[in-house]
Amino acid sequence: MSAVLNQSAEEQPVAFCYQVNGSCRRTLYPLGIRVTIYLTCVTGMMITVLGNLFVVLAVSYFRALHTPTNFLLLSLALADMSLGLLVLPLSTVRSVESCWFFGDFLCRLHTYLDTLFCLTSIFHLCFISIDRHCAICDPLLYSSKFTVRVALRYILAGWGVPAAYTAFFLYTDVVERGLSQWLQDMPCIGSCQLLFNKFWGWLNFPVFFFPCLIMISLYVKIFMVATRQARQISNMSKKLAGAAKRERKAAKTLGIAMGMYLLCWLPFTIDTQVDSLLHFITPPLVFDIFIWFAYVNSACNPIIYVFSYRWFRKALKLILSREILPRTPTIDLYQE
């Protein structure tokens, strides 16, 4: 019986992405599993795009939300929404079919946009933590130190630096020429692996962890100051107490968003670094799971806002009920 099973297994043809020498092997899932994975990925894409679209519409439309912090949130939502629109569809096909069928040009562009939007997210979270630090730790000077103009400069840096960094590695041959001794053999055809070298994990390590260390240190200080302010809040006037409460609420919410970012991206980042040292031993399926676990973060922020921000729930209700009238942009969404 075992001999028959072994013989049938040996007779099973091996699937490849392309009928050429050097093609990657293709993992063929049963039809039911493929449909389930596609539906799950499409659902995740819809949540990512629609959730962040609501954030963009709310902050753009309602004048009460035109604050430096919310402009940073709007820019962060644009990055996450763009990831859902431009990156996740092709990533879905690559994950389910285990092959890249869209050519070299789209492979490079897809990798560029993927890296750009992900780095933009972490830069924005870092800038938002700086904003919350100023608001909580130096409230009297906050309005003069962190203006809309300052927020726009942060937004420009949050997009410009990742765009230049990613373009340098993907659209120049500096890395290939400078690190030729680190390059592995060329990957198989159909894998869309552009930076296939041992040094890649170490290149991304500081880009991910240095902003994270900045955020963690700032939020530790924010937590300590907010705790001290909570003890003193009874001595404040009602107006000042309400403002202080809102600032602490915003800091707490954005702290949760930062923690979710770390939870989603840490496995992928660590695996990339370890993989570069151990000759890329991670199985493709496990690597795909780490990638999609990281993508999930882009859908999390709007969900966090729904449960944390009263102004977002009110704006969302107005948008979904189509109560967008000429007078609604001036509604005070912060009013209880």
Flag whether 174 is in a domain. Answer: yes
Flag whether 13 is in a domain. Answer: no
Question: What does the mean pLDDT of the chain come to?
Answer: 79
Average pLDDT over residues 74-89: 94
State pTM to two decimals.
Answer: 0.83
Flag whether 170 is in a domain. Answer: yes
Flag whether 14 is in a domain. Answer: no
Q: Which of 66-75, 166-175, 227-236, 312-321 has the lowest mean pLDDT?
A: 227-236
pLDDT, tens digit, for every residue of 123-162? 998 898 888 888 888 877 888 888 999 999 999 999 999 9
CATH of the domain at 55: 1.20.1070.10
Q: Tell me how far apart the alpha carbons of residues 314 and 309 are, in angstroms, rounded to a whole number.
A: 9
> What was the pLDDT predicted at 262?
83
> What was the pLDDT predicted at 6?
45
Q: Tell me how far apart the alpha carbons of residues 127 and 79 are, in angstroms, rounded to a whole number.
A: 14
Flag whether 201 is in a domain. Answer: yes
Which domain does 258 fall in, by range? 30-330
Contacts of 244 (CB under 8 A, 6+ apart): 139, 229, 233, 236
Contact 127, 154 (CB under 8 A): yes
Place of tokens 């999390």: 300
Residue 327 has pLDDT above 90, yes or no: no
Render 49-90 in DSSP notation, one character per residue: HHHHHHHHHHHHH-GGG-SHHHHHHHHHHHHHHHIIIIIHHH
> What was the pLDDT predicted at 1?
43
pLDDT, tens digit, for every residue of 265-292? 888 888 877 776 776 677 777 888 888 9
Residue 17 has pLDDT above 50, yes or no: yes
Q: Count of domains in the chain?
A: 1
Flag whether 8 is in a domain. Answer: no
Contact 206, 165 (CB under 8 A): no
Contacts of 215 (CB under 8 A, 6+ apart): 125, 126, 129, 258
> What was the pLDDT predicted at 213?
84
Q: Which of 249, 212, 292 is nearest to 40 (CA)?
A: 292
Flag whether 10 is in a domain. Answer: no
Flag whether 281 is in a domain. Answer: yes
Q: Tell me how far apart the alpha carbons of residues 293 and 222 are, in angstroms, rounded to a whole number.
A: 28
